[in-house]
Amino acid sequence: MNTLSKNEIYTAAVEALSSDGAGVCRIDGRAVFVKDALPGETHEIKILKDSRTAVFAKSEKRLVSSPERIEPDCPHFPKCGGCTMRHASYKTELEAKLQRVNDAFRRIGHLDLVADEIIGSEKISEYRNKAIYAVGKDGFGFYRPRSHEIIPISRCALQPEQADIAAKSVCRFMRENEVAAYDEASRKGLIRHVFTRIAFASAQIQVTVVSAGGLGAKTKNLVGAILEDLPDVTSIVLNINKSAGNTVLSGDFYTLYGSDTIEDRLSSLSFRLSPMSFFQINPPQAERLYNIAVDLACTGSPDLVLDLYCGAGTISLCLAKRAKRVIGAEIVPSAIEDAAANAALNGITNAEFICADAAKVSKDFALQGIKPDVIVVDPPRKGLTEDVITAITQMSPQKIIYISCDPATQSRDLTLFQSLSYPPKTAKAIDMFPRTNHVECVVLMSRRDV
């Protein structure tokens, strides 16, 4: 293997995009990753690091530009790290994401499976209904990639303007009341994060201020500052988070103004959302994702659908409109409480929810001889464990629907499912997070004898 020395300069043509949105070129047979470079471009690059498994470089000069390169519409790109694709046309972004999905199927899963389309988002800016701003001595912003350095911002192009206004309001309160930002190293100071949630269907706004301790008599000043700048706010919550580390929401919650929750809609269903509730960040795209999953799962009217990793029950309740019975399972107790409450809110009586680990549910159902017609899984980014996959297949469902936000772990898991008589049949990619490198994919597997 040829070693590329640090600070060496090369002229290189960019051939593709990596899974994290970097340009990929080849030098002496080595793949070299160049941040913010696009396919079809030629760059003069400087080698930054050769780790033997990967080579990283930066562009010193762009010699040939791609016709798909655009001027970034955010002054904070690419420093803040929230976006990776603001320099490329949306067409290029979608093509790269679809390619990423299919490359994972082929190279990681060694699968004869192709997603032939990706469903793009109608909105590629201001589409997020949730924002988490870190607060530091210089204001609010986001962490620089792979660091705890806060990059201060004035406006985030992914968020509705009300979210930025809420964060600015909290920072103004801090200045006027001499309230310090929390410092992770010394564990001194108070304000850690500003967490906002905006319900697009109802226009309700929830602002959660995360603090390492109480604010005492200054609490009313915090409420007053937010109401002055954001008079339409529905809910103001104080989260006292005394934990070490980078968990944003933890500890006790106190409603300072308005309601404990806000209400949003998805697929004609209503959902009450507290700060800890899980809800999809891009609801229109989530609707498209769920419609695909439900159509694949419920070609008829299945007697029983098991929804593992059900969260607050969004997919379960969508499935319940077409299945005779749905059981949702989730290990997070607050999520299960939300799921049951959301079922009651919508008058849905054929969905029930259990608080348990996916592996335990799968094994218990298999031992009890409970055989769902369809099993839906939407696991975290790390994917499924082998024992969960084995237990799922032992229940012998006719179909398994696998929803994933990581094509690599999904492809790995699909290979094991295929070896256990569940080959993948259909794949659809959905862009849930425009201007970032993330992509969702839904895969249908059918039992080999069906």
Residues identified as active-site: 405
Query: What's CA 72's distance to the chain center, in Å?
Result: 22
Going by the DSSP 8-state scheme, the letter that residue 25 receives in this structure is: E
Three-class DSSP category at 184: coil
Instruction: Measure CA of the first residue to CA of the last residue in the chain; give whole Å.
Output: 48
Amino acid at 354: I
- Distances from the Cα of 356 to the Cαs of 185, 279, 310, 359, 365, in angstroms? 36, 20, 11, 8, 12
Length of the chain counted residue by residue = 450
Residue of 256, 158, 159, 254 whose CA lies nearest to 198:
159
Residue carrying the six token digits 């001889």: 369
Q: Are strands 150-152 and 191-198 parallel, antiparallel or unpaired?
A: unpaired
- The answer to whether 75 touches 106, Cβ cutoff 8 Å, is no
Count the neighbouring beta carbons within 10 Å of the beta carbon of residue 243: 12
Q: At what angle do helices 407-419 and 90-103 cross, to 10 degrees?
A: 30
Amino acid at 94: L
Strand partners, 399: 374, 446
Amino acid at 71: E
Residue 10: in which H helix or E strand, if any? strand 9-17
Residue 339 makes CB contacts below 8 A (sequence gap 6+) with: 310, 311, 312, 313, 316, 317, 328, 330, 351, 353
Going by the DSSP 8-state scheme, the letter that residue 343 receives in this structure is: H
Buried b (16+ CB within 10 A) or exposed e, 72-89: bebebbbbbbbbbbbbbe
- The answer to whether 211 touches 181, Cβ cutoff 8 Å, is no
Burial of 228 (0-12, 13-18, 19+ CB in 10 A): exposed
Q: Are strands 252-258 and 235-240 parallel, antiparallel or unpaired?
A: antiparallel
